[in-house]
Amino acid sequence: MDRAVDAVNLASAGGEISLVGLFLQADIVVKVVMLGLIGASIWVWAVVFEKWTGLRKVNGAADGFEDRFWSGGSLDELYDDEGTQPSHPMAAVFGAAMNEWRRSLRVAGAAISHTNVRDRIDRAITVSIQREMDRLERWMVFLASVGATAPFVGLFGTVWGIMRSFSAIAAMHNTNLAVVAPGIAEALFATAIGLVAAIPAVLAYNKISTDLTRFATRLEAFGSEFSAILSRQSEERA
């Protein structure tokens, strides 16, 4: 109540309302809401930057890897160079497939059917793609959660602040606009911060999700082509 009354007195005295002033005059509950939303907004931008740089890096690495893969060089040399200790998702998919292919030929020899070899390679590729995409999709749930909940958290702060303002009005027995304006302004400020956190989170989530889906499709296409190549080599060695 005291903080709301102080805000009312400030407005009645002709004090200027600023963003810092609105925060300082806000009730402790509204302050906690504002600080939480500001922290979420900062975290959102950190996640966006990490995803943006990460996707650029893996796409660039995939471009270079595919150029080398389709250049006609030895798959064994490529595996020794990049497949044993992969530094990006496409190399990890390649390494998993090569490792499973070598293991199948070494353990079963000629006794294993080509269909079983292809099935084992496909499973290794699928598991590797899923593992790599799970790593790339880390923090995406956070972006979705902020985008969905931040406006409502801000609205809670607004409702709480308006309730405090009406309590101050009742205590002062004064319904002048100058009396109610500061309290309502600080309450609406919480909603504004909620929107500032939510809008970038929603936009970033949609854009990054599209980019991740496109990259997953790229990995799956590469995995299918590579599985066919290994299957043909297996038939040639039989």
Per residue in 169-178, pLDDT (tens digit) is: 777 776 666 6
Residue 14 lies in a domain: no
Is residue 87 in a domain? yes
* Tokens (6 digits) for 204: 């970033």
111 belongs to a structural domain: yes
**pLDDT value at residue 8:** 44
In the predicted structure, residue 221 carries a pLDDT above the cut 90: yes
| Predicted local confidence at residue 107, as pLDDT | 65
Alpha helices in the chain (DSSP H): 2-12, 19-25, 28-69, 75-78, 89-108, 114-136, 140-172, 177-237
**Residue 189 CB contacts under 8 Å (≥ 6 apart), including other chains:** 19, 22, 23, 26, 34
Quick check: 110 and 122 in contact, CB under 8 A? no
Mean pLDDT over each residue of the chain, to the nearest integer: 85
State which residues form the domain around 225: 2-6+27-237
Neighbours of 152 (CB within 10 A): 11
Is the pLDDT confidence value at 9 over 60?
Answer: no
Q: Is the pTM of this model over 0.75?
A: yes
Per residue in 61-96, pLDDT (tens digit) is: 999 999 999 998 888 899 999 988 999 999 999 999
Domain count, the chain: 1
More confident call, 89 vs 108: 89
Q: Based on the number of CB atoms within 10 Å of its own CB, is 9 exposed (0-12), middle (13-18) or buried (19 or more)?
A: middle
Domain membership flag for residue 119: yes
Cα separation of 171 and 165, whole Å? 10
Nearest to 230 by CA among 116, 129, 68: 116
pLDDT tens string 171-202: 777 666 666 677 788 889 999 999 999 999 99
Residue 227 lies in a domain: yes
Q: Is residue 20 part of a domain?
A: no
Q: Are 37 and 150 in contact (CB under 8 A)?
A: yes
Q: Which two tokens stand for residue 217?
A: 């499709």
Give the model's pLDDT for residue 238.
Answer: 57
Query: Quick one: pLDDT at residue 105?
Result: 74
Residue 78 and residue 64 in contact, taking contact as beta carbons nearer than 8 Å: no
Q: Does the residue 18 lie in any domain?
A: no
Residues 208 and 51: beta-carbon distance below 8 Å: yes
Q: Is residue 46 a part of any domain in this protein?
A: yes
Report how far Cα 16 is from the mean position of its chain's Cα atoms: 39
Measuring CA to CA, which residue among 92, 83, 91 is closest to residue 66?
Answer: 91
